[in-house]
Chains A and B, each alone.
Chain A
Amino acid sequence: MLPAQVSEADAAEHAPHLYPVIISSPDSDPQTLSGVEMDWNPPNSLSCRTCHRVTAAEPTPPWSEDLRNFHMELTILHGDLTCGSCHDGDDHAELTMANGEEIGFEDSMRQCAQCHPHEMQSFEIGAHGGMRGHWDLTRGPRERDHCVDCHDAHAPAYPTQMPLFPVRDRFLDEAGADE
Chain B
Amino acid sequence: MSRLIADIRGLSVHFGEHLIVDGIDFSIQENEILALVGESGCGKSTVALSLLRLLPDKGCTVAGKVLLGGRDILTVPENELNDLRGSAVSIIFQDPSTALNPVWSIGSQIVETLRRHRNISAKAARRQAIDLLDLVAIPDPHRRIDDFPHQFSGGMRQRVMIAMAISCNPRLLVADEPTTALDVTTQAQVLELLDKLRRDLSMSILLITHDLSLVADWADRVVVMYGGQICESAPTRSLFSAPFHPYTQCLLASIPPLSGGPTHRTGRLFEGPSAGVVTASAAGCRYAARCDRAEASCLSAKPAIFSVGAGSHLAACPVVKPSVSLAATVI
Q: Do A and B come from one complex?
A: no
Which residues of B are in contact with A by a Cβ distance under 8 Å?
Answer: none
Which residues of A are in contact with B by a Cβ distance under 8 Å?
Answer: none
